Amino acid sequence: MSGKSSEFGSDLLKLIFNSTPIKGIADNSAAPITIYYVSLHTASPTLSGNQTTNEAAYPGYNRMPMTRDTGHWAVSGNVVSPVNAIQFPAATGGLETETFFAIGTDPYPLAGKVLYFGAINPTLPVSEGVTPQLRTLTTITEC
């Protein structure tokens, strides 16, 4: 059996989402990424996918930039969530349902690396005039 301590799981999330160094292991001295891009997906981006895998395609869609800091991401134990709701652009047409979200490295439409992804519950039906958003109850858990 393998695993990691709860403390290290929390430290890892704080490093990734809040730019908090892990003493003796990781620091941000080499031009770190300062913004992540949150994407919506109609199905899982999968473990081997990127941010374009099953990505939303409604007219008006764009990934949302989120600064990598404590003002945008809350880490509690081994769980991270947005500090405020993440609001995506309103649909100007189309009809689809967003079932997953991802946190990645690149703006739309680049094939950014997916750092984390998770299911959206409840799912987000999108049609013309709808402004999808991820609530602050949306979480990622570091296992």
Tens of pLDDT, residue by residue over 74-112, are: 999 999 999 999 999 999 999 999 999 999 999 999 999
Distance of alpha carbon 34 from alpha carbon 132, whole angstroms: 24
**Is 127 among the domain residues?**
yes
Distance of alpha carbon 76 from alpha carbon 121, whole angstroms: 20
Among the ranges given (29-33, 64-68, 81-85, 130-134), the one the predictor scored with the smallest mean pLDDT: 29-33
**Is 121 among the domain residues?**
yes
**Is 80 among the domain residues?**
yes
**Is 136 among the domain residues?**
yes
**Is 12 among the domain residues?**
yes
Residue 143 is encoded by which pair of tokens?
């296992």
**Is 83 among the domain residues?**
yes
Domain span at 14: 6-141
- How much is the pLDDT for 2? 52
- Please determine, for residue 57, whether its predicted confidence score (pLDDT) is greater than 90: yes
**Is 119 among the domain residues?**
yes
Considering its fold, how many domains does the chain have in total?
A: 1
**Is 1 among the domain residues?**
no
Q: Give the model's confidence band at 38: pLDDT under 50 very low, under 70 low, under 90 confident, else very high.
A: very high
